[in-house]
Amino acid sequence: EEEDGCKAVENVVPACEIVAVEETEIDKKQCDSGKWQKMSKPHAFTVHYIKRARNHRWRCSEITFWCIDEQLCNQWIQALKELLDSQKSRPKRLLVYINPYGGKRQGKRIYEQKVAPLFNLASISADVVITEHANHAKDNLFEVNIYKYDGIVCVGGDGMFSEVMHGLIGRIQKDSGIDQNNPKTPLAQCSIRIGIIPAGSTDCICYATVGIIDPETSALHIIVGDCQPLDVSSIHHNNTFLKYSVSLLGYGFYGDILKDSEKKRWMGPMRYDFSGFKTFLSHQYYEGTVSFQPAKGTVGSPRDKESCRTGCHICRQTKQLEEQQKNYGLEHKEVEDEWKVIKGKFLAINAVNMSCACPRSPKGLSPAAHLADGSADLILVRKCSRFNFLRYLVRHTNQDDQFDFPFVDVYRVKRFQFTSKHLEDNESDIKDVGKKRFGQFCSDHPACCCNLANSTWNCDGETLDSSAVEVRVHCQLVKLFARGIEIYKDEAAYNLSSNELLS
Ligand SMILES: CCCCCCCCCCCCC/C=C/[C@@H](O)[C@H](CO)NC(=O)CCCCCCCCCCCCCCC
Ligand SMILES: Nc1ncnc2c1ncn2[C@@H]1O[C@H](COP(=O)(O)OP(=O)(O)OP(=O)(O)O)[C@@H](O)[C@H]1O
Ligand SMILES: [Ca+2]
């Protein structure tokens, strides 16, 4: 049927990559042309399938099969439809939240023009909610019957994903009678998958789990029912739950960029570059104490050369190890593990649950971090010169190792804590009767050179004000409609067929 019929081998489509099968109406014109001219009226059906393009992009392609025997044609359609129905991981009903104001304000258009037609083609029914205010999606997830859906889709950026994730995790804990405020309680896993249609400013969760920021590709990953588990960190202070994080939890540099950029939302995605430049020039450092338990049960290290890809063996092995430990009742072993304590002056404290790869930095903040290994990479950037900090930042954009600096340390952790020096001073002041309260002591000596300000946390792009936090990684707490970044045999190949993929 295709013009390059000689390359027939390349047209093998695995059943799991078929989007839909439809009967095709043949009009008279088509019928009268070519080889069908002299035969009786042919019948036809069209198979819509996934075609891989450059840079992890997926496209929906189609091929039409012709046949003179109507019964045979119907048998084919029937058989293919049954094949699709037998794939139980494919979603049938979705709940979609669209943030009309995210990124370049294109969320609604992107969904209507690029995603809805594909969902229709794949016979997926979607209930769509266009959000009217921040937290609309999150609150809504506590009200609706979520269990009738196979997945929740968010159209927006990392902030919108974060909102939907908080709603979903919170709802599941509520329904399971789990108190999120207790940092030690194991959380109930969410079996309802989340889909991300990227329409935000950074979209790093989409980029790091799919390999490209492209609404059509993401829609196709949802349609075929992909599943990528994701680690989630919980953040607490004084037995109070604050937030969850999946990508970056950053204090200092990234917290300050975010805080400044929030005032400049009108600038769109450009605001981050503007605030980034400004924050870089301010070169503010922060004093405090970081303590953590190095992750022992994990197989990899943050300095590995290999990164997390589809079917990652490090994520798989770590999960197996964790399950073994659970069976032996060793999950509370961490209590005895040693804490490492680091006091210092930091330009940035970044904890990342995944690489945080995004178009700005295609290898991300921690190139070897894993999506689902139950650990986070804790990156400490100590006070250094502006020039050195710039060298560090530039290495996020090239092939050089950003951890190979004397002022940068990286650790793989399952838990950590941070307390700013202010809070420590304040706590000791309270013990010290007669001394002044927190926030006042430096106004007493305005000429002093001690660093006055606290920073804020950048929690997946949302600001979080807390000068002390306790963070725990929950292995594979949520699941996405994604499969991680695929490995191609020949990354440069333009039209890859699925049989060129390494399994
Ligand atoms: C000289 C070039 C250096 C380039 C260095 C680039 C490093 C970029 C690393 C990006 C990491 C993104 C992590 C993702 C975090 C998301 O959960 C979050 C929510 O969407 N996004 C942001 O907070 C948004 C954060 C946006 C951060 C933008 C950083 C821009 C830094 C600009 C520094 C300029 C220095 C120029 C000196 C002449
Ligand atoms: N209708 C709405 N009006 C105002 N804010 C909204 C609305 N719907 C969602 N939000 C909030 O907007 C915030 C940002 O959304 P989103 O992540 O989609 O875009 P972004 O900030 O441009 O992208 P990124 O987070 O990738 O930087 C989210 O935290 C979300 O809570
Ligand atoms: Ca991880």
Q: How many Å lie between the centroid of ligand 3 and the Cα of residue 115?
A: 29
CATH of 234-473, one of 2.60.200.40, 1.10.8.60, 3.30.565.10, 3.40.50.2300: 2.60.200.40
Atom of ligand 2 nearest to the CA of 202: 26
Distance (Å, whole) CA 321 – CA 329: 12
Residue 79 identity: A
**What integer pLDDT is reported at residue 485 of this predicted model?**
97
Q: pLDDT tens across 453-478, in order?
A: 789 999 999 999 998 999 999 999 99
Q: 111 near 79, Cβ under 8 Å?
A: no
Tokens 């921690």: give the residue: 366
| CATH number given to 5-88 | 2.30.29
Give ion ligand 3 contacts, CB < 5 A: 231, 353, 370, 373
**Distance between start and end Cα atoms, the chain:** 28
pLDDT over 90 for what percent of the chain? Answer: 74
Pinpoint the alpha helices (H) of 349-437: 386-394, 421-431
If one residue of 96, 97, 98, 99 were mutated to test the ligand 2 pocket, choosing by the most ligand atoms within 8 A of its CB, it would be 99
Distances, alpha carbon 480 to alpha carbons 152, 153, 211, in Å: 9, 10, 14
User: Known catalytic residues?
Assistant: 158
Section 136-156 average pLDDT: 98
ipTM tops 0.85:
yes
**Residue 194: strand pairing partners:** 152, 480
Which of 220-224, 389-393, 441-445 is predicted with the least confidence, judged by mean pLDDT?
441-445
Predicted confidence band of residue 334 (pLDDT cuts 50, 70, 90): low
Predicted confidence band of residue 429 (pLDDT cuts 50, 70, 90): low
If one residue of 128, 130, 160, 258 were mutated to test the ligand 2 pocket, choosing by the most ligand atoms within 8 A of its CB, it would be 160
Phi-psi region of 156 (alpha: psi -120 to 50; beta: other; left: phi over 0): left
Section 130-155 average pLDDT: 98
If one residue of 97, 98, 101 were mutated to test the ligand 2 pocket, choosing by the most ligand atoms within 8 A of its CB, it would be 101
Identify the nearest ligand to the CA of 156 by its number.
Answer: 2
Domain positions in the chain are 5-88, 234-473
Q: At what angle do helices 271-282 and 253-262 cross, to 10 degrees?
A: 130
Atom of ligand 1 nearest to the CA of 458: 23
**Residue 44: strand pairing partners:** 24, 66
Q: 298 near 308, Cβ under 8 Å?
A: no
Q: For the beta carbon of residue 431, count every other beta carbon within 10 angstroms.
A: 7
Q: How many Å lie between the centroid of ligand 1 and the Cα of residue 77?
A: 50
pLDDT, the chain, mean: 88
- CATH topology agreement for domains 5-88 and 234-473: no
- Residue 56: DSSP 8-state: G
Q: How many Å lie between the centroid of ligand 2 and the Cα of residue 264?
A: 13
CB environment 265-275: b (16+ within 10 A), e (fewer)? eeeebebbeeb
Pinpoint the alpha helices (H) of 294-440: 313-327, 386-394, 421-431
Residue 170 identity: G
Q: Which residues, other chains included, contact 447 with Cβ-Cβ below 8 Å and sequence gap of 6+?
A: none
Q: How many Å lie between the centroid of ligand 2 and the Cα of residue 463?
A: 13
Phi-psi region of 315 (alpha: psi -120 to 50; beta: other; left: phi over 0): alpha
Q: Tokens representing 415?
A: 């838990």
Is residue 300 lining ligand 2, measured as CB closer than 6 Å?
A: no
Section 252-266 average pLDDT: 94
Q: 210 near 217, Cβ under 8 Å?
A: yes
3-class state of residue 213 by DSSP: coil
Q: Which residues, other chains included, contact 299 with Cβ-Cβ below 8 Å and sequence gap of 6+?
A: 314, 317, 318, 321, 373
Predicted confidence band of residue 503 (pLDDT cuts 50, 70, 90): very low
Q: pLDDT tens across 336-375, in order?
A: 678 999 999 999 999 999 999 999 999 999 999 999 999 9
Distance (Å, whole) CA 110 – CA 95: 16
Residue 35: pLDDT above 80?
A: no
